[in-house]
Amino acid sequence: MSRAPTILLALLASTGVCLADAPRSPTPKSVDGPLKVNEIATGLKSPWGLALLPDGRMLVTERGGQLRIVAKDGKVSAPLGGVPAVAAKGQGGLLDVTLSPSFATDNLIYLSYSEPGEDGTAGTSVARARLGDTAIDSLQVIWRQTPKTSGPNHFGSRIVFRNDGTLFITTGDRFTERPKVQDLSTTIGKVVRINADGSIPADNPFVNRGGARPEIWSYGHRNSQAAALRSDGTLWTVEHGAKGGDELNHPEAGKNYGWPVITYGVDYSGVKIGEGTEKAGMEQPVYYWDPVIAPSGAAFYSGKAFPQWEGQLFVGSMNPGGLVRLELVDGKVASETRYLGERNERIRDVQVGADGYFYLITDNPTAGKLLQVVPK
């Protein structure tokens, strides 16, 4: 056994955390790692999602409803036409963007966003469209969260393609709809899995269960704003807790991840949430943070620029800010290291390029940045 897991367990024990519970982050300080940061573009307005195009350009969503192309030299395009209308309030707006696995031949992109409904309601939706130089076209909404609800918060939402071509979508509990998270007739607080055209995979866990939405993959999630596929094909998510209780999970088919019945956090008022930290039939997180890191954006590293980090998980932090590295050994967190904390910036999304460099976007209403992180 390496020293890292032993040290982590000792740190956990020193905090008074029960070792039978999920491992708790030791909250390490940010370090000056082997990283150099280049600012590619600045002046972005609440950027949220980032996708790297094969030709070296980058797609960036801005929460207010703009989709832009950033050239290799950092020039930011005018907003592309054809983007769907969004409910740009609170945490809502234009959210994630990802490329079709066959983008080289179909030129399709996928967008998640808070779609406005009637009477001020909204819900997470996913659309696909064909990317052009100045606009997207052939827009088709392929999935909608059910039901749309009032309130401007907790939409999720990340989009991750599985190796079989199906699509994972993370959703939030909409902040005011906690009871619906455990209700399988809704897609509030779920991870859903659909085919690339919006149809339902026949092997989803609730396809043949009466009263359950057939697109549900897993449930009991609060607000997953980070998701990534590991090289072994498993999905990993990082979700916001309340006051404490941010969670690392790898959602498996049909399983219940507990929110709001079990959690390691408390309400913002300090009031206890749910029944405690564990309950039969509900999954424990792989790892949790208290204090929180406010996670958004994640990627497993693969590349030649930082070979020592191959297969490790990198998560964006918005509070206290920075880039969090998790070393995973046998499905568990062996160590946690934090970088870029000295920049005091909210990292909203994390991608790894074909060049092995990290590409990050920072969350700011008027001065968001697109950063390239290379070896020092």
Cα–Cα–Cα angle for 341, 237, 161, rounded to 5 degrees: 115
Strand pairing class (332-339; 30-31) = parallel
| pLDDT attached to residue 21 | 80
pLDDT at position 5 over 50:
no
**2 pLDDT tier (thresholds 50, 70, 90):** very low
* Angstrom distance (rounded) from CA 112 to CA 187: 15
pLDDT at position 288 over 50:
yes
Residue 222 CA: distances (Å) to CA of 53, 119, 237, 257: 31, 24, 11, 9
| pLDDT attached to residue 334 | 98
Q: What share of the chain in percent tops pLDDT 70?
A: 95
- Burial of 249: CB neighbours in 10 Å, binned 0-12, 13-18, 19+: buried
Which positions are catalytic? Answer: 154
Give the model confidence (pLDDT) of 52-86 as tens digits.
999 999 999 999 999 999 999 999 999 999 999 99
* Angstrom distance (rounded) from CA 370 to CA 73: 12
Q: Which of 21-25, 287-291, 299-303 has the lowest mean pLDDT?
A: 21-25
- For residues 222-242, average pLDDT: 98
* Angstrom distance (rounded) from CA 353 to CA 250: 23
Instruction: Say whether 342 sits in a helix, a strand or coil.
Output: helix
The residue type at 9: L
| pLDDT attached to residue 192 | 98
| pLDDT attached to residue 359 | 98
| pLDDT attached to residue 360 | 98
- Which residues are within 8 A (CB) of 128 and not within 5 positions of it... i.e. 6 or more apart? 100, 108, 109, 110, 111, 139, 140, 142, 196
Give the model confidence (pLDDT) of 129-186 as tens digits.
999 999 999 999 999 999 999 999 999 999 999 999 999 999 999 999 999 999 999 9
Instruction: Specify the residue for token string 């367990």.
Output: 9
Give the model confidence (pLDDT) of 339-372 as tens digits.
999 999 999 999 999 999 999 999 999 999 999 9
| pLDDT attached to residue 118 | 87
pLDDT at position 331 over 80:
yes
* Angstrom distance (rounded) from CA 75 to CA 177: 41
Tell me the pLDDT of the chain averaged across its residues.
94
Nearest one of 1, 4, 2, 8 to 288, comparing CA atoms = 8
pLDDT at position 127 over 90:
yes
Question: In this structure, how many other beta carbons lie within 10 angstroms of the beta carbon of residue 55?
Answer: 7
Go through the domains of the chain in sequence order and give each one's CATH number. Answer: 3-375 (2.120.10.30)
Give the model confidence (pLDDT) of 81-114 as tens digits.
999 999 999 999 999 999 999 999 999 999 999 9
- Burial of 231: CB neighbours in 10 Å, binned 0-12, 13-18, 19+: exposed
Q: In this structure, are residues 334 and 4 in contact, taking their beta carbons and an 8 Å threshold?
A: yes
Q: CA 141 from chain center: how many Å? A: 20
Nearest one of 318, 319, 299, 317 to 309, comparing CA atoms = 299
pLDDT at position 237 over 70:
yes
| pLDDT attached to residue 11 | 44
* Angstrom distance (rounded) from CA 250 to CA 243: 22
